[in-house]
Homo-oligomer: A and B are copies of this chain.
């Protein structure tokens, strides 16, 4: 068991000072060719690597990014992480992941844990509970402490920071327009309660698309799901709710679902009701998932490009971090924040004509 070597140990072995070793390893011109080689050889032999923690303490930066997301067992969030990790890694950053589990308390606790020096900045998507309570003090606090935050997907106007979002309204309109073009007359929407910002925006897009085509929205065609964590019970409930939708209105010939689970579940229920897809009923869902691609019938979706979102968020954060370095204490106060919008696009599969 060869424990990690430190500069100190190398110094002792070679009978030179610590600073000589340090300089030699960093190819300083101050050091003679001779000792440099000696030191480097020894270091290589013992596989010396500078201790990250010590460096972090010294440099007052950790080169790691903290991610806080509601859950990881969701293709969209995994994709985002993949994207973040890619650019982070490329730029020499690590990524530390914490899950809020949609809970306000866990979000707060995790932020505090990480904010105490473990990371240089946050990339996060807000927990549902937080959105519901509209308590954002933990965000403002960390920002005030000088730690930058980049929010993605579930963002909130109250907080001034960089953001990466999807054109939810526009994406929803694309979906609904497609259905209208394809001849649907009675288009239902399956969405979330309004406190989930993306659900609200997608609902808005749905309404705007209808309006653009002079179609009056009907409340019997709008289903707002109380979105709890995924559980078997919840799934049953979801199916029941969708069944109610079909019972309430037997003219439905198009469905826009704000996520792919709603989409595939709608397809399942619809087929149980004898609807032919896409002949009698067409479906488009918002999604970045694996479900819509592999389900039968495969679902046409509005792809939100989770990985791109992640990449974009990481770039924004790192840009800001490196900026801070440069402008040694530019206490400008009124900083300018960016909001990057990632374009969605419609992927046509079997659930539309």
Residues of A bordering B, CB below 8 Å: 1-4, 47, 49-54, 56-57, 62, 64, 71-75, 78-79, 81-82, 85, 89, 94-99, 110, 112-118, 141, 144-146, 261, 264-265, 267-268, 271, 290-291, 294-296, 331, 333
Contacts and interface: CB of A to CB of B under 8 A. Distances in A.
Contacts of A54: 57, 117
B4 A64 contact: no
A295 B97 CA distance: 30
Identical chains bound together, number? 2
Nearest to A291: B294
The 10 closest A-B pairs by CB, nearest first: A51-B117, A53-B117, A52-B117, A96-B96, A73-B78, A49-B116, A296-B296, A52-B116, A72-B78, A52-B118
30 contacts: A1-B145, A4-B116, A4-B145, A4-B146, A49-B112, A51-B117, A52-B116, A52-B117, A53-B53, A53-B57, A54-B57, A54-B117, A72-B81, A73-B79, A73-B82, A78-B78, A89-B98, A94-B96, A94-B114, A95-B98, A96-B96, A96-B97, A97-B97, A264-B294, A265-B294, A290-B290, A294-B295, A295-B295, A295-B296, A296-B296
A91 to B, nearest CB: 13
A63 to B, nearest CB: 9
Contacts of A333: 1
Contacts of A117: 4, 51-54
A57 B1 CA distance: 21
A307 to B, nearest CB: 9
Contacts of A291: 290-291, 294
A110 B64 CA distance: 13
Contact of A94 (B1, B73, B113, B265): B113
B79 A99 contact: no
A265 B290 CA distance: 12
A94 B96 CA distance: 8
A260 B237 CA distance: 25
A93 to B, nearest CB: 10
A294 B261 contact: yes
A3 B117 CA distance: 12
Nearest to A145: B4
